[in-house]
Amino acid sequence: MKEQVIGRRLLRPDAVDKVTGRARFPGDLYMEGMLYAKVRFSDRPHARILAIDTTEAERVPGVVAILTHRDVPVNEYGLIFKDQPALNGDKVRSLFDRVALVIAETERAARRARDLIRIEYEDLPVVTDPREAMKPGAPVIHDRWPDNIQTHRHIRKGDVAAVFARDDVVIVESDYFTPHQEHAYLQPEAGIGYIDEQGRVTVHSAGQWSHDDQHQIAHMLGLPVDRVRVIYTVAGGAFGGREDMSLQHLLALAAYCLDQRGIHRPVKIVWDRQESFRGHHKRHPYYMHYRSAATRDGKLLAVEATLIADIGAYSSSSSAVLNNAVSLATGPYEVPNVHVDGYNVFTNNLVAGAFRGFGALQATFAAEMQMARLADALGMDPVVFRLKNALREGSVLPTQSVVPAGVSIRETLMHAAEAANWSEEGKPSVGDQPSTRTLRGIGVAAGYKNVCYSFGFPDKFSARCELYGDTTIERAVIKTGVSEVGQGVLAVLSQVAAEVLDIPYERVTLVNDDTAEVPEAGSCSASRSSFMGSNAIKLACEAALEAWQRGERPACAERTYRSRPTTMFDPQTGVCDPHVTYGYGTQIVEVEVNPETGQVTLKRVWAAHDVGRAINPMQVEGQIEGAIAQAAGWTLLEDFIMENGQLRTKSYADYLIPTVYDVPDEVHPIILEVADPQGAYGIRGVGEMPMLMLAPAILDAIHDATGIWFTRLPVKAEDVLLALKKKRAESQAQ
């Protein structure tokens, strides 16, 4: 009888090495004779560079080389638009910019020389609010975008104006703001650059898309792609923060330039936490204005929304983030009339880019706050209101495409409500706690997010299966360039391979770390790795099995899985087929509010998420619990502050992230398995989805406890306390 591997709580292949300390993170890497490098960042948020004087820095004992823009063969890189200089030479647009790279015998010497570089600037006007930056006459960040608007997307469906003109509808209107967020992964950026035995520029580091790093580095150095090699080691988290290159290209540049000068030594960079805070992108702040209308019996009729994103000084992945936000701006509901505009706007703030949720997070926050406020205005149960409008099979989206099969938002709503004892009579009553005089409330939010690349960007994932043995398969080696950044994808894909091959899980080895050895698998993003990888590995393993049955030893096969095609927004109407498929979820939150301090305590969270098929339920639970902790920080604690382009939040001394005392007292993951017909074994993605709903659910619960609506994040204790005092004062005045 065949032993089922899928659905079991199996140990991750990297678990023992990580808990015993054997795993080598980028900061642990070592090579004989290696040098050390330090980055000189910009001193100004916006300025022309008049001169760079390295004379005094070059005199520091141990300095081997100082690189500037003159040393970069092709001084540009970027995920989508190549608008970022590797080293700035004519102008700086943010404190994010790198101006020079010092290479020395010791890290201390490199640091000392870095601080002795003299840069002469001519300051330029600084603009940090995207709403001001898009106005006529604002300082121009890039000549290519003279109005500072990097992307404008819109959707037009139905007649929104006619709905809002009716007198038989309930209308809710509000402004919302979501802030920067630091990825706060465990391990800051680090790595080594060197020339390998075949003369290839090699970078050994960590990231989320090794083959894209390879292509970007090759472009920057003006080299053929096969002359660049990228090796990944284990990463202490990523969450989107390693999708852009931070120092990989600088490591490559250092190795390349030294080699050109006849110095054949590796170069290591290790950032401290302050350098990391400054040197990698953040979550996009979004300024959003929403107006929503529903009939008095609870049928959602229209949504009008404007979303303005602060993308900072460079493009990064912002255009893709905005595409997601605009397409998901109405939430997982049927809305016959839609008018949405989304803008990406350059400022002199730090660069904003990929972060878990990728535009869906900001849009879901505003959309679900509108649903909560509409339900309140209508006097309807918020779960019933959502069920009345939730997407179902065959629903037409705002982009006028039909939602892909496997729609399960209603199932997540009902399972979460049932688990939280939400009855037909309405939400469970938590009431005040007379012993402590605290206030309690309960809130709900639902959401959905794309799985895979979208809007016409082709998504493909390649895998190679090699089977070894004589009469039986003694060992299976799966080779694919998927990135393991702590999410457990090596375990998931190994389980799929073992299932297809009908061999024990322990006989599968997954190799993923070296672009010289493995085929491209795309990025660790868009909640795509399990969905795309399982499909690709299933194809490769089935083909290798056929070769095995023909008697080939070893039996090998490589296959590429391509997702179904998607399309870009129509420039006039926004009509498109935007996403391959979706993941769905609902969260219900119980909070406790201390009226004397404003402190909000998360008591219980019920999180119902449809994963299609739980390959490893333990890892799904980990994804849900981890996302909830991260979302709790974004909602209640994390306050990343920039003022006039200057960084005020420089380290964890200035930036609070959740500790064990800040996460919910209880988290109840509810795993649903409504098979996605496009996924191998019904799999759909889950990595980002549990991040989406917590913030609006918390704010709904705070309103339930206090009667106060908050519309900006984070909602810190002092914000709650001041609002409560204001409410009491207004009540007394009446």
The beta strand positions in 380-507, using DSSP E, are 439-451, 460-469, 473-479
CB atoms within 10 A of CB 304: 22
Please, which pLDDT band fits residue 432 given cuts at 50, 70 and 90? Answer: low
Residue 89 has pLDDT above 60, yes or no: yes
Could you give the residue ranges of the DSSP H alpha helices within 173-227?
210-221
Q: Report the CATH number at residue 498.
A: 3.30.365.10
Residue 425 has pLDDT above 90, yes or no: no
Range of the domain at 80: 31-124+189-270
The answer on 584 and 470 residing in a single domain is: no
The answer on 291 and 258 residing in a single domain is: no
The answer on 594 and 540 residing in a single domain is: no
Give the number of residues written for the chain: 734
The answer on 247 and 221 residing in a single domain is: yes
Q: Residue 276 domain-assigned?
A: no
Q: Residue 7 domain-assigned?
A: no
- 3-state DSSP assignment of residue 484: coil
Report the pLDDT value the prediction gives residue 423, as an integer from 0 to 100: 79
Question: In this structure, are residues 359 and 379 in contact, taking their beta carbons and an 8 Å threshold?
Answer: no
Residue 155 has pLDDT above 70, yes or no: yes
pLDDT (average), residues 429-456: 86
Question: In this structure, are residues 187 and 29 in contact, taking their beta carbons and an 8 Å threshold?
Answer: no
Q: Residue 223 domain-assigned?
A: yes
Q: Residue 182 domain-assigned?
A: no
The answer on 246 and 367 residing in a single domain is: no
What mean pLDDT, rounded, does the chain reach?
A: 97
Asked whether the bond before 554 is cis by omega within 30 degrees of 0, the reply is yes
Task: Give how many domains the chain has, as a whole number.
Answer: 3
The answer on 716 and 630 residing in a single domain is: yes
Please, which pLDDT band fits residue 733 given cuts at 50, 70 and 90? Answer: confident
Q: Residue 161 domain-assigned?
A: no
DSSP code per residue over 262-290: T----EEEE--HHHHHHHS-BPPPEEEEE
Question: In this structure, are residues 477 and 509 in contact, taking their beta carbons and an 8 Å threshold?
Answer: yes
Domain stop point among 545, 562, 579 = 562
Report the pLDDT value the prediction gives residue 429, as an integer from 0 to 100: 73
The answer on 291 and 211 residing in a single domain is: no
pLDDT, tens digit, 9 for 90 and up, residues 1-42? 567 899 999 999 999 999 999 999 999 999 999 999 999 999
Q: Residue 291 domain-assigned?
A: yes
Question: b vs e for 500-518, b when ≥16 Cβ sit within 10 Å of the residue's Cβ?
Answer: bbebebebbbbebbbbeeb
The answer on 415 and 470 residing in a single domain is: no
Q: Report the CATH number at residue 253.
A: 3.90.1170.50
pLDDT (average), residues 626-638: 98
pLDDT, tens digit, 9 for 90 and up, residues 448-497? 999 999 999 999 999 999 999 999 999 999 999 999 999 999 999 999 99
Report the pLDDT value the prediction gives residue 437, as an integer from 0 to 100: 82
The answer on 242 and 195 residing in a single domain is: yes
pLDDT (average), residues 100-107: 98
pLDDT (average), residues 630-639: 98
Domain stop point among 562, 582, 608 = 562
Question: b vs e for 115-152, b when ≥16 Cβ sit within 10 Å of the residue's Cβ?
Answer: ebbebebeebebbbbbeebbeeebebbbeebeebbbbe
Report the pLDDT value the prediction gives residue 433, as an integer from 0 to 100: 55
Please, which pLDDT band fits residue 431 given cuts at 50, 70 and 90? Answer: low
Question: In this structure, are residues 80 and 317 in contact, taking their beta carbons and an 8 Å threshold?
Answer: yes
The answer on 228 and 196 residing in a single domain is: yes
Residue 411 has pLDDT above 90, yes or no: yes
pTM of this prediction? 0.97
The answer on 597 and 525 residing in a single domain is: no
Question: In this structure, are residues 427 and 394 in contact, taking their beta carbons and an 8 Å threshold?
Answer: no
Domain stop point among 562, 582, 612 = 562
Q: Which residue has the tokens 């993170």?
A: 25
Please, which pLDDT band fits residue 117 given cuts at 50, 70 and 90? Answer: very high
Q: Residue 142 domain-assigned?
A: no
